C-alpha cells in the first residue's frame, strides 16, 4: 500500500472584495490567510495550524497586515521596503542587505 500524506500550507481568501494595494495602487489586494493542513492523497483533510491574516496584492506581491502596516516576511516586526530594489526589510535596518542602498 502506498501512503501519500503530509502537511502543507493552503492559502485561503477571507474576502471576495479586493482592497487598494498601497504599493501599486491597484485594487488587487486581498485579505488572505495561510493555514497548514494535513493532507492525504493530496486532499487536505485536517487543519492543524491557523495562520495570521494578511493582505497580499495579487499583482505586485506587496504584503501588509489588516491595518495596512507593512511587516517583514515571517515576523511581527514592522517593515519598510527598499527604495532601490523594493525588497521588504525590517524597519531597524540602516542598509539594504539585498542591494546595499542606504535606507
Ligand atoms: Zn500591488
Ligand atoms: Zn535594496
- Nearest Cα neighbor of 28 from 66, 68, 56, 70 is 56
pLDDT tens profile 59-103: 998 888 877 777 666 666 677 778 888 887 787 888 988 899 998
Ion ligand 2 contact residues with beta carbon within 5 A: 82, 84-85, 87, 96, 98-99, 101
Q: How far is the CA of 45 from the centre of ligand 2 (A)?
A: 41
Q: Which grid cell is 54?
A: 494578511
pLDDT, one tens digit per residue, over 11-69 is: 899 999 999 998 899 999 999 998 888 888 888 888 888 888 889 999 998 888 877 77
Please indicate, yes or no, whether the overall pTM of this predicted structure exceeds 0.75: no
- Point out the ligand nearest to the CA of residue 62: 1
Measured in Å, residue 41 CA sits from the centre of ligand 1 at 35
Distance 95 CA to ligand 2 centre (A): 8
Q: Which residues does 83 contact at the CB level (< 8 Å), separation at least 6?
A: 101, 103
Amino acid at each position: 500500500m502506498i501512503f501519500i500524506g503530509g502537511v502543507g500550507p493552503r492559502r485561503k481568501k477571507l474576502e471576495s472584495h479586493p482592497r487598494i494595494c498601497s504599493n501599486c495602487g491597484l485594487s488587487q489586494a486581498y485579505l488572505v490567510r495561510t493555514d497548514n493542513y494535513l493532507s492525504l492523497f493530496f486532499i487536505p483533510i485536517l487543519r492543524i495550524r491557523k495562520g495570521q491574516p494578511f493582505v497580499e496584492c495579487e499583482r505586485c506581491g506587496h504584503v501588509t497586515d489588516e491595518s495596512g502596516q507593512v511587516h517583514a516576511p515571517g515576523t511581527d516586526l514592522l517593515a519598510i521596503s527598499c527604495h532601490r530594489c523594493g525588497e521588504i526589510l525590517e524597519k531597524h535596518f540602516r542598509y539594504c542587505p539585498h542591494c546595499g542602498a542606504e535606507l
